[in-house]
Structure 1
Amino acid sequence: MSALFDRIGAIGVVPVIAIEDAAAALPLADALLEGGLPLAEITFRTRAAAEVMATLHERRPELLMGAGTILDEASLRAAKDCHAAFGLAPGYDAAIVAGAAAIGLPFAPGIMTPSELGAAIKQGATLCKFFPAGIAGGPKALSGIAAPFAHLTPRFIPTGGVTEGNLAEWLALTSVLAVGGTWIATTADIAGGRWADITAKARAAVAAVRAARGG
């Protein structure tokens, strides 16, 4: 699990993707890969999500694929069946955290408060999504929430309100493994087949992470 999270951390930015049409899975993956971004979180916000993940696993195994918006046992099972490398959720649900551990799926529950973080850590979570990162108070809020748990070394993927323009502020926190965001491959861009735009935004995001980390 630590090796997987190290891979995510090395990339530094996770495109959060809601894709409506499974036929767009391969062009989307190719656009991200061409932009130097071999990572994606495919969310269960659409009916196509499971088919998209199964397609990507089979046809684009070089893309490190996670399953997002895991809110129930059915989504958790689907993520495993579709060979997602890891799972994430916007909130904390003890049953989902336990279920992910039981099936061997590396999982990052969502947290927004010290109580949620403490509960997640107690269940063995070492990586959490901080969501919704922007309206929850930004980097200063995460720093304050995480401070009492620093000796336990939790890591975070802030998502929600993160952009290319502010990702450096998040990555300045040593507890932030990577940032997540929808701006790289929006639902509208995918539906419109704007693959070159997605490639350009992926390349810019990778460059912004590199710059934030001092090259």
Structure 2
Amino acid sequence: MEPSAVLSAWSAGVAAGTALVTRWGIVGPGFTWMGLGVVLLLAVPAALAGGGVVGWVGCGLTVAALAASRVRLLAAGFAAAAAITLVLAGTGEGYPVLVVTGAIALGGITSEMLLGHWYLVDPRLPRSALRTLCLVGIAGSVIDPAAALLHGALPPASGEVIVPIGWAVLAITSVLLMAAVWAALGERGYPAVMAATGLSYLAVLTGIGAVVLARVLVFGESLG
């Protein structure tokens, strides 16, 4: 399992989330800068680790989106193009479905967490965008394990059980945390968004763990 595949999927998901939020026009260019900055933090190491020319093209499109951040539709278009390109960069080992499902899961969760910070600055913003990203994160957290199982996610030949058990725990915890985010967003008041953002932080940690362990099992690798 190449780290570049997971990093490319993660950066693609955040790029897609940033494109959506930018397109919705509910926040200023500051959020676009933050979201695309996170994309570069993930996409550049992915390109260095084996993402190849396509990975660098994705980085270039991300920079173009940053440069166009004050022109909302143009920035959203470049960010969406970066997301597609970064997905392609992550398919070097095959398994394009897993790249897409990983992007949905990690992109939805991470984008929800990033946008949650903006709500803490301006609580008057509508919560519909957070709820949408939360639903994407929940869907991805369910679809990605299902896709991994369909691709043969099985315990290593050595018979060790810690990896599949850990994967199951992390995957289930990710879904439960994002469900808790959804519930928190249904409550009134500033503390509700604070709670949702904090829970999404935890979901990012469990989500990346679940995605990585799923690929370990699909590729039949051992952590020992």
Flag the structure with higher strand content: 1
Flag the structure with higher helix content: 2
- With normalisation by structure 2, the TM-score equals 0.30
- With normalisation by structure 1, the TM-score equals 0.31
The higher radius of gyration belongs to 2
